[in-house]
Structure 1
Amino acid sequence: MRRLLALVLMVTCCAAGWRSAGAPYAFSFPRDHGSHPNYRLEWWYFTGHLLANDGHRYGFELTIFRVGIAPGAPTPRPEQSRWRDGEIFPAHFALSDDTDGRFSYAERLVRPALGDAGAARYGLDVHAGDWSIRGIDPIRLQARTRAQGVTLRLRSLKPAAVHGRNGISRKGSCASCASHYYSLTRLVGDGSVRVGAHRRVVRALVWMDHEFGSDELEPNVVGWDWFAFQLADGREVMLYHLRRRDGTFIPASSGSMVARDGSVRRLRAADFSIVPTGSWRSPHSRALYPSGWIVRVPLAALAVRVVPRLRDQELASRGVSYWEGDVCLEPLSTAASDRAAGDACTAGQGYVELTGYAGEVPR
C-alpha cells in the first residue's frame, strides 16, 4: 500500500483528469503487470531474502515509482521537446547485510526523456536508469550502485493475490481513498549480490507488490505500519495498520491471507493484532520507531514474534525518512535462550515498513 511517502507530490484529493481507484477493478494478467498512466501514482516494489552458499544472508528492497505530472498520455507530441515529460520515475534500492550487520541504500529520480526511464503498458517492463524489472517468467531484476548491486532471476510459485474487495484496497472512509493492489507473494530464484568488489551467488525468496491509484489517505492518517510475511509452512500474510495522530488505527486497516494453493482470504482490522514489544531511536532522523512485535491472526492460527534482523534499516531519504527492513518470524513458544543461539527464523521471514514516525506522510 505504500511508498507514497517518498513522493512529495502527494495531494489529499484526486486532481482533475486522473482516474480514481474507488471503482471496482477487474485485474487481467499479464496486462496489469504493466503501467496504468490514467492513474497518478504507481509503484512496483520488491523485497526479498537472499542466502549465499557460504551462509551469508542479505535482505533487499527495490522500488520503482511512476508519478504522473499531467493527466493523459505521458509521451510528448512530436512538436514538443523530448525533455517535456508527463511523468517521472523515483526509485529506492536498499541492501541489508544481515550477517555483517550493515545497511545501505540509494535513491534516484529519473525522467523518461531519451529513454532513461519508463514502464510498458502491457506486461512487466519498468526501469529507472539501469535499475530494472523485466519479464514475468522469469522476472529479471537488477539494481546496482558503485558500492553494491543485486541481480536476480525469479519465478512465481503462486498466482497474483489481489487485495481488498472487488479490486479495491481501501485506505480510508472516503469513496476515493483507495488503490488497486496485488502481490506476487512467493517468488523464488537465484542470482548474485555484490558488495564492493566481492560477489556472492545467492538463492532468493522474494515478495512483489504492484499498486496504483490517484487519491491518498484520509486526512487524519499520519502513517502506517505494513507487514508482509512468508511463512515456513508455505502461506503468506499481508497486514497494515493506518495510524491516526493519536496512535489509534482507522477501521480501513486490513490485510490478506494467502493459502498454500494461492487462494486469498481478506482480513479485516478485527481479524488480527499487532503489538510492539520494543522501540528504537534513529541516530539519523531521531525518530522513535517500534522495533519488534507480537502478531496474532487467529483465522490463520498464527501467533509469532517478529524480530528485525537489523535494528537500523531506516531510509533517511530526501523525501521523508521511513523504516523498511527484513524481519525474522519466531513462534511465541520459542525461548529466549533458543532465540539467542542462532538465526532459525523457524516460523518464516518477512518485511516491515513503518512510516510517519519521522514526520507525517506528506500531502
Structure 2
Amino acid sequence: MNVRVIIFLCLFPFTLWAQGFSGLGADVNGFATPRPDPVFTFPEDHGAHPEYRIEWWYLTANLQGADGTPYGLQWTLFRTALAPGEDAGWRSPQVWFAHAAITTPDAHFATERFARGGIGQAGVRAAPFEAWIDEWALQGADFDAMTVTASGPDFAYDMALSAQGPLVFHGADGYSVKSQQGQASYYYSQPFFDISGILKLPEGDVAVTGSAWLDREWSSQPLGETQTGWDWFSLSFEDGAKLMGFQLRQSDGAGYSASTWIAPDGTTHSMPAGAFVAKPSQSHKVAGREVPVEWQVSLPERGVDVTVSALNRNAWMDLSIPYWEGPVTVQGSHNGTGYLEMTGYE
C-alpha cells in the first residue's frame, strides 16, 4: 500500500464513490438532511454547507481543437465531513479532495489532490466565487464568468467559462430523490457554459473551445443498502436541448432512475422516476473489469432514443476512488455530445 493510499484511508474512514452516496453508513450521525421544498439563496448556496456530510463542485466539458479533434475535461472539488460544522485549524472536521482529468481519443490523464479543512489549503468562498485546493482553482467575480485551472504530472489546463443560460434545478425544485426509500440530495447545475482555453498535453499545447456543465450537489444521506453503483449522463443535443439522467443499480438487478429535460431556453421538466432508461449495449475491459462503454438511452416522453458511445473506452479514473468517466457522443433521434460517469463496477 503506497503513502497516498495510507493518507487517504486516514482522512476518509469510509468509502466514497464519486457522484454518489454509497458507503456513507446507515445513519447521518447528527448531520443535516435535505428536505422537500428547498429555498436556495444565491450567491450563498454556491459556497460550502459544512452541516451536511458530502458536497461537490463538479465540472465536465466537451471540447474541440482547431483541427476538429474532440477532447474531454473534468475538474471536481469534493468536501466530506467527519463531523457536522466547522472549526479552526487542524480541528476542522472538513476534508477536501479533488480530481482533474483530460480525455483525448487515444489517451486519458487523471490526477488527484487531498487537503484538510481549516488550514487554508482548500475551500470554497461564495462571493466572489472561489473553489480551490492548492493551486487548482475554479473562480470568478460571480458564478457566471469563471476560470478553471489544474495540473498533473503529464497534463494541465487553463480555461475560461461564460454562462449562456440560467441555473437548472433537478428533481422537485432542487430536491433530488435518489431511491424508492426517499434518500435525497440538493442538486442544481449550470449546463450552459461556453468554455475555451489551452490544454497542455505531452505532445504540446492545444487551443480548444466547447461547452461545459457544472453540477452542484450536497447531502448527508446514504443510498439504499441494495444499491451498488451509479450511471450518470449529461447530454447536450444539437438543437440546444439537454438531458440529465442517472440510474442507481441494485444488487437484485432492479434500479432507480431520475432525469431532467432542459429546453434550449433553460426551462426544465423533471421527469417521473423510471422514465429515463439506460441499457448497456457494449462493454470493454478496463482496469481488470468489464465496463459498459456504449449505451442505449431513451426518454420516450421527449422522443429520445439514442446511442451513447465513449470517445475513449479507457477513460478510467485510476485514483484512490476508482471509477470511469469521460466524454461521449450521442447519435439517433437526437445527436450531440455529453459526459458519462459510472461507479461500482468491480
Structure 2-normalised TM-score?
Answer: 0.89
Aligned counterpart, 1:109 = 114
RMSD: 2.1
Please state if 1:263 is matched with 2:263. Answer: no
CA-CA distance at 1:325 after TM superposition: 1.1
Contact preservation (8 Å) 1:279, 1:292: yes
Aligned counterpart, 1:356 = 344
Please state if 1:5 is matched with 2:17. Answer: yes
CA-CA distance at 1:198 after TM superposition: 1.5
More strand by share: 2
1:271 match: secondary structure = coil
Question: Quick one: distance in 1 between partners of 2:203 and 2:135?
Answer: 19
Contact preservation (8 Å) 2:109, 2:154: no
Contact preservation (8 Å) 1:146, 1:196: no
Aligned counterpart, 1:336 = none
Contact preservation (8 Å) 2:21, 2:223: no
Please state if 1:277 is matched with 2:278. Answer: no
Question: Quick one: distance in 1 between partners of 2:70 and 2:199?
Answer: 10
Give 2:137's aligned amino acid.
S
Question: Quick one: distance in 2 between partners of 1:122 and 1:204?
Answer: 26
Aligned counterpart, 1:294 = 296
Contact preservation (8 Å) 1:14, 1:20: no
Match of 1:159 among 151, 160, 166: 166
CA-CA distance at 1:121 after TM superposition: 4.5
Question: Quick one: distance in 2 between partners of 1:111 and 1:234?
Answer: 40
Match of 2:31 among 9, 15, 18: 18
CA-CA distance at 1:210 after TM superposition: 0.5
Please state if 1:128 is matched with 2:128. Answer: no
Query: 1:330-349 alignment to 2 at 5 Å?
Result: 330-331=331-332, 347-349=335-337
Structure 1-normalised TM-score?
Answer: 0.85
Question: Quick one: distance in 2 between partners of 1:121 and 1:36?
Answer: 11
Give 2:117's aligned amino acid.
P
CA-CA distance at 1:21 after TM superposition: 1.1
Give 1:5's aligned amino acid.
W
1:115 match: secondary structure = coil
Please state if 1:225 is matched with 2:231. Answer: yes
CA-CA distance at 1:4 after TM superposition: 4.4
Aligned counterpart, 2:252 = 246
CA-CA distance at 1:276 after TM superposition: 1.5
Aligned counterpart, 1:139 = 146
Per-residue CA distance 1:187-223 (angstroms, 9 max, x = gap): 1031111013721221121011010011111111011
Give 1:292's aligned amino acid.
E
Aligned counterpart, 2:12 = none
Aligned counterpart, 2:96 = 89
Matched positions, count: 329
Change (3 A) 1:45 1:118: same
1:141 match: secondary structure = strand
Change (3 A) 1:244 1:34: same
CA-CA distance at 1:318 after TM superposition: 1.5
Please state if 1:305 is matched with 2:318. Answer: no
Q: Percent identity?
A: 31
Change (3 A) 1:246 1:57: same
Question: Quick one: distance in 2 between partners of 1:223 and 1:9?
Answer: 8
Structure 2 unmatched runs, 5+: 1-14
Aligned counterpart, 1:337 = none
Aligned counterpart, 2:123 = 118
CA-CA distance at 1:9 after TM superposition: 9.6
Change (3 A) 1:159 1:214: same
Per-residue CA distance 1:213-246 (angstroms, 9 max, x = gap): 1111111101111111011110110111111013
Give 1:264's aligned amino acid.
T
Please state if 1:38 is matched with 2:20. Answer: no
Contact preservation (8 Å) 2:21, 2:221: no
Change (3 A) 1:4 1:25: farther
Give 2:17's aligned amino acid.
L
CA-CA distance at 1:141 after TM superposition: 0.8
Question: Quick one: distance in 2 between partners of 1:122 and 1:37?
Answer: 17
Contact preservation (8 Å) 2:290, 2:345: yes
Please state if 1:58 is matched with 2:71. Answer: yes
Contact preservation (8 Å) 1:32, 1:122: no
CA-CA distance at 1:12 after TM superposition: 2.7
Give 1:280's aligned amino acid.
H
Between 113-122 and 89-98, the greater mean CA deviation after superposition: 113-122
1:292 match: secondary structure = strand
